[in-house]
Amino acid sequence: MQLKTALLSTAVIAALAGLATQVDSGAIASRVQSLQASAVADPAAASATASTRSTAPASARAIAAHHAVAGAIANAPGARPGSDLVASSNSPEQADTSPAAKRARALLTGAAAREVHRVEADAFAARDVMIDRDGTEHVRMERSYQGLPVVGGDFVVHSQDGALTSISQGDNMRTFDRPDIQPRISVAQAEVEAGAAFDGKVASIDNAGLVVFAQGTEPTLAYQMELMGDRRDSQLPGHFTYYVDAKNGKLLHAEDRIQTAAANGTGKSLLLGNVGIVTDSVSGGFQLLDPTRGNGSTLDAKGSDNYVSAFPGAVQFKDSDNVWGNNLSSDRATVATDAHYGVAVTWDYFKNVHGRNGIFNDGKGVRSFVHVGTGMDNAFWWGAQKLMAYGDGTDFLPLVAIDVAGHEMAHGVTGATAKLGYYNIKDTGGLNEGVSDIFGTLVEYYANNASDAGDYLIGEKLVKNNPSGTKALRVLFKQDADGRSKVCYPSGGFTASQTYQNGPYDPHLTSGVLNRVFYLASEGVVVPKGFSYTKAQLVCNNDTAIAGVGRDKVGAIVYRALTRYFVSSTTYPQARTWTLQAAADLYGNTSNEYKTLARAWTAVKVN
């Protein structure tokens, strides 16, 4: 394949130009590979520690040179020296064999054992490792018991110079009790229970094996069942994970696996006018595949809603002259251009702002499918298939807006890091959705496209008959304007049993709490142009004097909290604690950033 020169957006060109003034990119590329290997994969580095907390371990010092580039990319604006990312693993396998993981496991045999309620048959595997410039190591651990995965047993070990500093964990495993691991019902009985729970036509049920389920309940032996099928009242794919009590057949939890909402090419998009996109040159023309971003590709699903095989009739978009679409939905390549561009901007945002190399930090792109279903008013991220899907819309325009693409792919980043739960878990689904809304917003600002200027609205470009631009899928500063969303945290939190799809605490509704925190900390109590709210309507406690510290700083705090502190069952009070810890890491616990964020949390009644 021949790769032509990329035609990048203005924002990306500016970012790359900034890098070019710092260091030769060719020389850095080889150094980064070898230095990251020494920091994350070389066992010899395991014994290298510093004598004082002010000196970084040898593993961190070894990659300090890498920060000629990565520090400028991954560090928050104005953050204190040493808080930026120096290295990270790019796969669970690499993380688990790293010296940092070995050090973390050693800590779990000592002082930390009681804190995580370790028992003799517990074992721990590292899934992700992040090392800060000052030598602080953040090791995300998954737990198993007698060889069985513990669902909800995840936590993060934070240490420096071999000494434990803290552990981030949910409320699931605050016990030393463990279940008998001999099932009392058959796999067939568990399949029946899973099938009965699905509202639609079942295509297949696969037994993924026994697990210890510990989300919102005492650790319980369970069958994990993966069900595929057609939903009764939705065009979304039916992919559910069901956890069935292996003792009595009771359904413990249902996890919906669908989370909603290079060449010089010219894309004539539907929503953004003409944009530069990166394509691939092949025999006879070009295809919508981006070699500069992990070979991410855009395909035409041709109206398919056959999700079992992930759109078997889909075809790669190809073109002879490298001009895509006609700015109208009459050309099938038009919305493909929007999607392809949105994926590229999202990739660039996470890489250039947070130092993340793709959704999974492995340098691999994802597939995007447009024209999914018939008039489907949705877009979704399907983590199990590592793909994005966009409907053509009926009540809405085709759902290919930049902030929607950023939102959905942020679900992938969340799934690769904290694995925040979704339905039927206290608070966590709202945090999951809120994180995606935040990064969808930040991606839109990062794109800096005059046809879709940055704002604190999600999907406003998709709403038909919206001349004022004030109608949207969600309004981050006043989400309860829809008459259903929650923006003030209730006493006791959001009850898990009411967080089901379309329920009173559906994650798309409870995300309003985090979205408001983000807006208040970023902008302060300021009513955006075009809206007539009073300042008092933007807070829950009459604190109308909050002054924001800027969205870039708050975005850096949220990303750090997500990747270093949040776990799968994080609650809103824990999110307050851990975002404030992230703010302290970056700016100090006496900083204006820390104090402003604390006031924003209090303004939504999370204390």
Catalytic residue positions, numbered:
408, 508
CA distance 582 to 553: 11
Residues 6+ apart with CB under 8 A from 61: 135
Closest CA to 427 of 193, 204, 606: 606
Closest CA to 104 of 82, 125, 121, 133: 125
Closest CA to 76 of 36, 133, 114: 133
Task: Give the DSSP H/E element, type plus range, for residue 341.
Answer: helix 332-354
Q: Note the residue count of the chain.
A: 607
Largest pairwise CA distance in the chain:
67
Residues facing 211 on adjacent strands? 222
Q: Which two tokens stand for residue 283?
A: 């025999």
Residues 6+ apart with CB under 8 A from 439: 349, 406, 407, 410, 413, 555, 558, 559
CB 102 within 8 A of CB 137: no
CA distance 433 to 271: 24
CB 38 within 8 A of CB 378: no
Radius of gyration of the chain (CA): 24
CA distance 13 to 148: 48
3 state SS of 569: coil
Q: How far is CA 133 from CA 39, 58, 74, 136, in A?
A: 12, 11, 11, 7
Q: Which two tokens stand for residue 319?
A: 């073109």
Q: What is the SS3 assignment for 179-213? A: CCCCCCCCHHHHHHHHHHHCCEEEEEEEEEEEEEE
CA distance 562 to 544: 28
According to DSSP H, which parts of 505-591 are helical? 507-510, 512-523, 551-564, 572-587
Angle CA 122–125–126, to nearest 5: 140
Beta strand extents in 60-100 (DSSP E only):
85-88
CA distance 52 to 43: 22
Using CA of residue 492, residue 496, residue 501, residue 503, what is the dihedral sign?
Answer: negative
Q: Which two tokens stand for residue 278?
A: 């990166």
